[in-house]
Amino acid sequence: MSDVSSELLKEARQHFVESKYKLAEPMLEQLLLQNIRNPEIYQMLATMYYDRGQFNKAIKTFKRALEIDPGYTDASVGLSIILNDLGRYDEGKKVFTEAREILDQKKKPSLGFLDESISKKHEELSDLYAQSKLWTESLENLLKAQKVMPQRRRDLGVKIAECYSRTGESQKAIRELKEVLFIDGEFQTARLKLAQLLFMNSRVSEALEQWELVLLRDPTNFEARDGLLKAKNAKKSTLSFQDRGLQK
């Protein structure tokens, strides 16, 4: 890759992180015209398509990233999530299994003291920004912390999702939490947060499913029981409203 192309990718990546998709997309498309085989380019484009609801296009683009690099787990995770969202569970499970195997192979016995220190400093700075409700700045530092040490994706994910939610990017928050649960399906805090966000975005059936999963593992979880009750009441109200409409 030439120096010019590297700078273009760097700038596109920055726009992508800042959710400036209208600026990032033409840059990424320009890189594709140069026949640059970089899975990150396709992964970023696929994520944009997913956020816009262009699911078929997103699936094809994630698959293109994996053709270039079968071990590019960001693309595997994104593809698995979309397939499951569309009800294509067998396909999603296959991608999930393959991605988990690759993730297990990539695990390192030690993370390196320097990387860990830098990552935690970014997280500390993010917490300070969050206390002042500067959510954009908080998010930027969390993403930097994660980039320095990708192994902390699980621990940082809930905070990243909270920042997305606070800046009005609910779809990104939901996707982030799904990716965290992809890594650790037993992470109840992430599942409870996901259920709450789904409910707030009128995705009641999906929220109901997440709260039920929490209660399967912890039948006494008060938050899940309360959420389940709210979701069931919301569904009843919707059905009752629909019935009255049909009677008219």
* Same-domain check for residues 136 and 196: no
- pLDDT for 112 equals 56
pLDDT > 70 fraction of the chain, expressed in percent and rounded: 90
* Same-domain check for residues 87 and 26: yes
Q: Which residues of 82-120 are buried (b: 16+ CB within 10 A; e: fewer)?
A: bbbeeeeeebbeebbebbbeebeeeeeeeeeeeeeebbe
- pLDDT for 237 equals 66
Mean per-residue pLDDT, 64-73 = 87
Q: Which of 106, 124, 156 represents a domain boundary (last residue)?
A: 106
- What's the total number of domains in the chain? 3
Integer Cα distance of 22 and 12 in angstroms: 10
* Same-domain check for residues 16 and 77: yes
* Same-domain check for residues 31 and 101: yes
Residue 134 DSSP SS3: coil
- The enclosing H or E element of 112 equals none
* Same-domain check for residues 88 and 8: yes
Q: Which of 154, 183, 212 represents a domain boundary (last residue)?
A: 183
* Same-domain check for residues 20 and 77: yes
**CATH number of the CATH domain containing 16:** 1.25.40.10
* Same-domain check for residues 40 and 95: yes
Mean per-residue pLDDT, 116-124 = 83
- pLDDT for 246 equals 44
For residue 173, pLDDT over 90 is answered with yes
- pLDDT for 214 equals 93
- pLDDT for 228 equals 87
Q: Which residues contact 160 (CB under 8 A, 6 or more apart)?
A: 139, 142, 143, 146, 176
Integer Cα distance of 143 and 157 in angstroms: 9
* Same-domain check for residues 101 and 11: yes
pLDDT digits (tens, 9 = 90+) for 146-160: 887 888 888 899 999
For residue 106, pLDDT over 70 is answered with no
* Same-domain check for residues 165 and 231: no
**Residue span of the structural domain in which 80 resides:** 3-106
- pLDDT for 241 equals 44
Give helix 73-85 / helix 170-183 axis angle, nearest 10°: 110
pLDDT digits (tens, 9 = 90+) for 122-131: 898 899 889 9
* Same-domain check for residues 149 and 190: no
pLDDT > 90 fraction of the chain, expressed in percent and rounded: 36
Mean per-residue pLDDT, 158-178 = 92
- Residue with the larger pLDDT of the pair 103 and 247: 103
For residue 163, pLDDT over 90 is answered with yes
Q: Which of 183, 198, 213 represents a domain boundary (last residue)?
A: 183
* Same-domain check for residues 129 and 144: yes
Mean per-residue pLDDT, 173-180 = 91
> pTM of whole model > 0.75?
no
For residue 64, pLDDT over 90 is answered with yes
Average pLDDT, the chain: 84
Task: Give residue 135's pLDDT band: very low, low, confident or very high (50, 70, 90).
Answer: very high
* Same-domain check for residues 141 and 158: yes
- pLDDT for 111 equals 45
